[in-house]
Structures are given as C-alpha cells and as structure tokens.
Amino acid sequence: MRRPIPFRTPFLVALLATLALACAAAEGDGGGDDGHSAGLEPTSPEQGYVGPEAVVPPSGSVTGAAAPVRAEDFERVEDPRLAAVLRAGPRIYSGAVPVGPEAFQALAELGVTTVVCVDGARPDVDAAAAVGLRYFHVPIGYDGVDEGARAAIVRILEETEGPIFFHCHHGHHRGPAAAAVALRALGADADTARAFLVAAGTSPDYPGLWRDVASFTPPSPGEVAAVRLSAVAEVEDFAAGMAQLDRIWDGVRILADAGWTTPLDHPDLDPDHQPVLVRQALEACAEATPERWSSEEEFRRQMRRAVERAFALESAAAAGDAAGADAAFRALKRTCMSCHDTYRDGEDLP
Ligand code: HEC
C-alpha cells in the first residue's frame, strides 16, 4: 500500500534555494580529508546486507538517459513519522534518522528501496529489513565527504534501483551532503547540488561538506569497483560514542526547554538521570579517545572541562536548581562546540 505524500512545498523550497544561490558564499576547492574512516569494511553476514558476490561491473556512469535534477524539483516531505525529509527528483531523499518501525514503514510508502546512514551510529538494519529496505552504512565526518565515501555513494547508485534515503542524525548536514554528492553523480551541476544543501539547512560551519559537493568529480571505475559496501560499517569507538552521546544530548535539550522537569510528551526523560547519562557518555568517549587526539594536551583539557561541566549539570539538576542547570547546560554546549570547531569540523576555507 502506498500512501500519497501528505504535503509538499516544492515552491517554497525552490524559492529558498534560489535566494540562497543569489547570495552564494565563497566556494573553496581541493584540500584533502583528514583520513576519517569511510567505514567501508567488509561486514559479516549477520550484520545484514553484504554486496552480492557477483556484482555487475560498475558501468562508470549512473546518469543514464534521465535528465538531471533541478532545484525546482526539490520537495519537502511532511510526514509525522519522519523528520527533515527533502526529496530531489526520482531517486534522492535526505532526512533525519528513521526511528522505529513506523519510520521505516513511512519510507517504504514513499517508494524508497534503499537507506544509507552516513553518521557514526549503528543503523537499525532489522527495522529496515522488516519492510524490505536495504541498508548501507557509509560514515562520513563533518569535515567532508572523502574519496572513499564518494566512491561508495556512486557504487550504491549503480547497484540499486529506486529512491535512496540518505540520513545522518538530524538530517541537516551530513545526510544532505551525501545526497548532494549523489545528485552530482546523477548529473546535477554544482549550483543545483549547493541549492540542495541550502534547502536542507546545511550549516556553513562545515565548509568541507560544501567543498566536496562543489568540487565533485566522478570517481574512476576502479575506485568504484574497489568499494566494499556494508550494512553496518566499523566505526571507531570514539565516533560511535559521540553519536550515542548526541542521542542522549537530544533528551537534555528537551529537558532544558522544559525547565528541567519531565515534559508530558516525554515521560521517559528524567532530569535527575539524563545528565548522568551525558556525563557517563563523555567519560566513555574520553576513555576511547584515539591516539591522534589523546596525545594533544588541548584536546585532553577540553574533554576534562566537558566532563566537569556535565558533573555541574548533574548536581544542579538533581538539586532542582533550574538556573544552575541552565548555566551548566549552556557551558557544556559551548565545550562541545569549541572542541568540534578545533578537532572535528575541518579547516575554514580561505
Ligand atoms: C574534547 C573534544 C570533544 C568534546 C568535548 C565533544 N566532542 Fe563530539 N566529537 C569530537 C570529535 C573529535 C569528533 C569526530 C570523531 C570522528 O569523526 O572520528 C566528534 C564527533 C561528534 C559527533 C558526530 C558523531 C558521528 O556520528 O560521527 C557528534 C554528534 C558529537 N560529537 C556530539 C557531541 C556533543 C553533543 C558533545 C557535548 C555534550 C560533544 N560532542 C563533545 C570531539 C568532542
């Protein structure tokens, strides 16, 4: 059963995109990635789908005869079971992580056949499989869509038919960047792909994402053939821990908005407990810090500060001190951002 898309706002999205194009920000080029793992390790059968043994040799072209997508074709898809969904033509969607069976059902009703997770969290392969969707996991950093990930995206376009849903956590930055790379691979020009990022609300604070969408050139057939796709990629414990922390942090943000009381629509959120989970997740990340950062005094200092601030949040919330909790929450958020600015989000472009 295919439900019609409930509500579409193509004109608004196209208008936004056009406006933003008119005041396009500076565009950079080149600049390597930092070696962030594209996570294209082979996966074991119990991890879900593994590329078929006898894959049709990549053709080197996925554009086919279809006309490239234009910004006028972008559509917002409003469905209460999904968040931040943006569609670009017949094959490409981006959005937030689908949560629970209803969300995957909603994707299936849109006609989506393939789901691609580009963040560090473990994809819910079982929920996808239950409604017949294939999952691929291609983790990318906030600092760009590296070569391995670009080749993987092209390979997925070649190996699948039908619409593909690219998602990160909230569907604003990395998911749209991967979708925009797919659009380029399907023949869209740089302006159209950039307009897609604008329409998705991708932040200019991640210049590497914009750069790699703008400077896209098709990977060679050899690069595409060498890709090993997997449904659950290997992700370093640190990045996986950060992805986990971010999900806990969502709950803290809701509590902050609710004045550090359990909101009616989130009976699961306990102001005494959620900050404890944040602190524990930060400690787990600190523990799992890879050598390239743990050897840096500044990194260790920022991590210690984050843990201290999480402790402060924990005690203020437990004491029912809403003002203190607010202050500690904001201070901790600044530490997240400041560490990311230095160690995660890549160089500012000249
Ligand atoms: C001391 C440094 C530091 C602090 C503090 C920090 N992070 Fe991170 N975080 C990083 C680094 C470095 C990465 C990139 C890891 C990688 O890609 O290998 C990262 C990655 C992430 C990611 C992306 C994970 C993924 O899916 O790939 C999220 C989300 C995140 N952090 C959320 C948070 C939140 C929320 C906080 C604060 C509550 C926080 N971080 C505090 C350093 C930090």
| Cα distance from N-terminal residue to C-terminal residue, the chain | 51
% of the chain exceeding 90 in pLDDT = 79
Distance 340 CA to ligand 1 centre (A): 6
pLDDT at residue 38, as a whole number: 39
Which residues, in sequence order, are CB contacts of 344 under 8 Å at separation 6+?
141, 142, 143
At 276-298, the pLDDT tens digits run: 999 999 999 999 999 999 999 99
- CA distance linking residue 326 with residue 317, whole number of Å: 9
10-226 and 237-343: identical CATH topology: no
**How far apart (Å, rounded) are the C-alpha atoms in residues 229 and 49?**
9
189 lines ligand 1 (CB under 6 A): no
Distance from Cα 245 to the centre of ligand 1, integer Å: 8
48 conformational bin, left if phi > 0, alpha if psi -120 to 50, beta if neither: left
Residue minimizing CA distance to atom 2 of ligand 1: 339
CB 168 within 8 A of CB 97: yes
Residue 66: per-residue pLDDT: 76
Report whether residue 274 contacts ligand 1, using a CB cutoff of 6 Å: no
Q: What is the pLDDT of residues 134-144, one digit of tens each?
A: 999 999 999 99
- 289 in ligand 1 pocket by Cβ < 6 Å? no
Who contacts 116 (Cβ-Cβ below 8 Å, separation ≥6)?
135, 136, 137, 138, 153, 156, 164, 165, 166, 167, 178
- Residue ranges per domain, the chain? 10-226, 237-343
How many whole angstroms separate alpha carbon 250 and alpha carbon 28? 32
Q: Is 302 in the pocket of ligand 1 (CB under 6 A)?
A: yes
Q: CA-CA distance, 199 to 330, in Å (whole number)?
A: 28
Average per-residue pLDDT in the chain? 86
Residues paired with 164 in a beta bridge:
92, 114
Give the model's pLDDT for residue 61: 56
List pLDDT tens digits, range 294-349.
999 999 999 999 999 999 999 999 999 999 999 999 999 999 999 999 999 998 76
Say yes or no: CB of residue 36 within 6 Å of ligand 1.
yes
Residue 126 neighbours by CB under 8 Å, 6+ apart: none
**Is 249 close to ligand 1, i.e. is its CB under 6 Å away?**
yes
Q: What is the pLDDT of residue 64?
A: 56
Starting at the edge strand found earlier in the chain, the sheet holding 164-167 runs: 74-77, 85-88, 92-95, 164-167, 114-117, 134-137
Cβ 147 vs Cβ 153: under 8 Å:
no
Atom of ligand 1 nearest to the CA of 281: 38
Query: What's the DSSP call for residue 69?
Result: P
Assess contact for 106 and 130: CB atoms under 8 A: no
What is the four-CA torsion angle of 32, 176, 230, 36, rounded to 10 degrees?
30
CATH entry 3.30.1280.10 includes domain 10-226: no
For residue 67, the model assigns a pLDDT of 86
pLDDT band at 350 (very low <50, low <70, confident <90, very high): low
97, 143, 294, 344: residue to mutate for ligand 1 pocket, most atoms within 8 A of CB: 344
Task: Give every CB contact of residue 59 below 8 A, 6+ residues apart in sequence.
Answer: 158, 221
Per-residue model confidence as pLDDT tens digits over 227-264: 999 999 999 999 999 999 999 999 999 999 999 999 99
| Nearest atom of ligand 1 to the alpha carbon of 300 | 1
Residue nearest to atom 4 of ligand 1 (CA): 336
Residue nearest to atom 15 of ligand 1 (CA): 239
pLDDT at 348: 78
Atom nearest to 278 CA in ligand 1: 38
User: Which pLDDT score, from 0 to 100, does residue 65 have?
Assistant: 55
pTM: 0.85
Is the pLDDT assigned to residue 103 strictly greater than 90? yes
148, amino acid identity:
G
Ligand 1 binding pocket includes 173 (Cβ within 6 Å): no
Residue whose Cα lies nearest atom 35 of ligand 1: it is 246
pLDDT in tens, 178-232: 999 999 999 999 999 999 999 999 999 999 999 999 999 999 999 999 999 999 9
pLDDT exceeds cutoff 80 at 1: no
- Whether 6 shows a pLDDT value over 50: the answer reads no
Task: Render pLDDT for 86-101 as a digit per residue (tens, 0 to 9).
Answer: 999 999 999 999 999 9
Question: Residue 157: what residue type?
Answer: L
For residue 27, pLDDT over 60 is answered with no
- What are 31-58's pLDDT values in tens digits? 333 333 333 333 333 333 333 333 344 4
| Distance, CA of 34 to CA of 256 (rounded, Å) | 35
State which fold the 237-343 domain adopts.
Answer: Four Helix Bundle (Hemerythrin (Met), subunit A) (1.20.120)
Which residues lie closer than 8 Å to 159 by C-beta, 6 or more apart? 51, 55, 56, 229
Handedness of CA 229, 231, 236, 238 (dihedral sign): positive
Query: What ligand 1 atom has the least distance to the C-alpha of 168?
Result: 26
Q: Whose CA is nearest to atom 13 of ligand 1?
A: 344
Ligand 1 closest atom vs CA 343: 12
